[in-house]
Amino acid sequence: MSSQQHYQRVAQAIEYIQRHFQHQPTLDDIAAHVHLSPAYFQRLFSEWAGTSPKKFLQYISVEHAKSILTSTASHSLLDATYDTGLSSGSRLHDLFIQIEGMTPAEYKQGGAGLKIFYSFAETLFGCILVASTPKGICTLTFVEQNEQALNELKAKFPHAEYIEQTDEMQQRALAVLTVQPNSIQHIKLHLKGSAFQLKVWESLLKIPAGQLASYRDVASQIEQPKAARAVGSAVAHNPVAFLIPCHRVIQASGVLGNYHWGTTRKTAMIGWESAQLYANVEEF
C-alpha cells in the first residue's frame, strides 16, 4: 500500500471516529468502515501513527487540546527555555526554518525573473506540491489533483519560469513530512506575503511539535492582542503547510477548527505529532 493509500485509510478512520465519538465506536466498527479486518487495521493505523487508535483518540480530544492550551498560555512562544520536558528538540523547529519575504518587485511583477522549481510527492499526510526559488521554498500545499494545484501556483506567479525538478531544499522539506519532525535540516522559505502575514508566520514557527496555541495566543505573541481575527486570516493564507505549523493553531475552546487543507488532515497532524511526542511516556 502506498503512502497516499495508507493516509486515505487513516483519514477515513479519523472521520468515522469523530462522527461517532459519542457512541464510542469499537475497533471492529472502525475497521469495518474502512473495509479492513480489525487486526490489519490496528497494525496499519499503529504503523502510521505510532500509537493505537484508542490512544490517538485521546490525543485529538477537546480535553487534551485544552490542557495543552493551558500549558502554552503559561509560557511565551518566544521563550528560548520553553520546553515540553518530553522532547528536547521540539522547541528548536524555528531555529532550522527561516523566512525571507519576497521583495515588492518580485511579487508585484508576478514573479517575473523568478525561476520556480516544483515537484509532487507522497507524504504521511497525503500528496503534496512543493515549489522553490533559488532563495528557498515558496509553496508546499496538499493536493487532490496535480494539474489544478500547479495552475493555482502559476496564478500566484504568472510571469515566473516553471521547471519540474526536485532540488535540495525541496528534499529537506519533504524529509520533514516523511520522518521524525525533529530531525530536520536548515530550510529557507521565500514567501509572498504582507508584513503582518510574515510576522504571524514567523510566530507560528515558535510553536513546538505536539503543542498548540490559540489565535489569541499568537496575537498576543506578536504584541497585537486585539488582532486575533486578523491572525486567523494570516494563518489561513499560509502558503507552506506543515513547515509553518498553522495546524497547531486552534480555537481557545479546544475545538481544532478549520484548516486550509481540510479539518481531517489537521486532526491527523495534531494526533500524529502528539503520538511521536508521547511515544516513550506512559502517562500524560
Verify whether residue 138 is a known catalytic residue. no
Q: To the nearest 10°, report the CA torsion of 273, 279, 282, 284.
A: -20
All three cell numbers of 255: 475545538
Q: In the numeric block, which cell numbers belong to residue 203?
A: 510566530
The DSSP secondary-structure symbol of 102 reads P
109 vs 93: CA distance, rounded Å: 32
Write down the catalytic residue from 246, 250, 270, 275.
246
SS3 42: helix
E strand map for the chain: 97-101, 115-123, 126-133, 136-142, 161-164, 187-191, 213-214, 249-250
Give the relative orientation of helices 38-49 and 263-277 as an angle to the nearest 10 degrees: 70
Burial-class residue 18 by CB neighbours within 10 Å (0-12, 13-18, 19+): middle
CA distance 179 to 2: 16
Q: Which of 79, 15, 49 shows the shortest CA–CA distance to 274?
A: 49
* 157 Cβ contact partners less than 8 Å away, ≥ 6 residues apart: 107, 110, 111, 114, 116, 138, 192
d(CA 265, CA 19): 15
Active site residues: 246
